[in-house]
Structure 1
Amino acid sequence: MSDVIEEKIKKYRTAPFDARFPNTNQTRNCFQNYLDFHRCNKALSAKDQDTAPCEWYQRVYKSLCLMSWVQKWDEQIETGNFAGKI
């Protein structure tokens, strides 16, 4: 992994501003980062590459999302009922 990405992950405190979600309500931002994390893992795992860069998305969604939402989405993924496209 590049030194720049490693440095950003080390300095990470909370989710940075995302211009796609300028409003106070960050629910969509939470969900999008959750999807991006799983898509990133899926894509890099399929290529047998290191999935460490995906940690960024995980840290962002964990700082924005309620853990009850994440648990529910994880259960839905396991049962095959998740509404998002991963």
Structure 2
Amino acid sequence: MADEAELRAKLHTFGNDARFPDQNQTHRCFQNYVDYFRCVKAKGEDFAPCKEFWSTYQSLCPVSWVEKWDEERSKGNFPAFDL
């Protein structure tokens, strides 16, 4: 992603998401990761809402999870089938 360094500099804590009312944000992390790649597939990396998904999952998800999911996607065995 061309603007990755710029986006990393702008990372911040995101507000409440009514879809995830619990304090545990694991599902929100995973859902934003999935939503980002679905968005990129449909609209491309430069689409602004895609960048919001990216920023959110980068803020919420542990790096080790993202690395694991990236590896699973590259091998074609990620749980979200349509990525």
Place the TM-score, normalised by the shorter chain, in its bin.
0.7 to 0.9
Structure 2 stretches of 5 or more lacking a match?
Answer: 1-9
Task: Describe the shift of the 1:19–1:61 C-alpha distance in structure 2 as closer, same or farther (beyond 3 A).
Answer: same
Stretches of structure 1 that go unaligned for 5 or more consecutive residues are 1-10
Deviation string, structure 1 residues 12-63 (Cα, Å, up to 9, x no partner):
6212210010111000000000010000000013xxx843431100000011
Provide the rounded CA distance (Å) in 2 between the counterparts of 1:50 and 1:23.
31
In structure 2, the residue matched to 1:56 is 52
Structure 1 segments of 4 or more deviating over 4 A?
none
Aligned residues: 73
- Greater relative CO, 1 or 2 (CA 8 Å, sep 6+): 1
> Aligned runs of 1:19-58 on 2, under 5 Å?
19-45=18-44, 50-58=46-54
TM-score (norm 2): 0.78
Equivalent-residue separation in structure 1 for 2:65 and 2:29 (angstroms): 10
TM-score (norm 1): 0.76
For 1:82 and 1:38, the matched residues in 2 are separated by 12
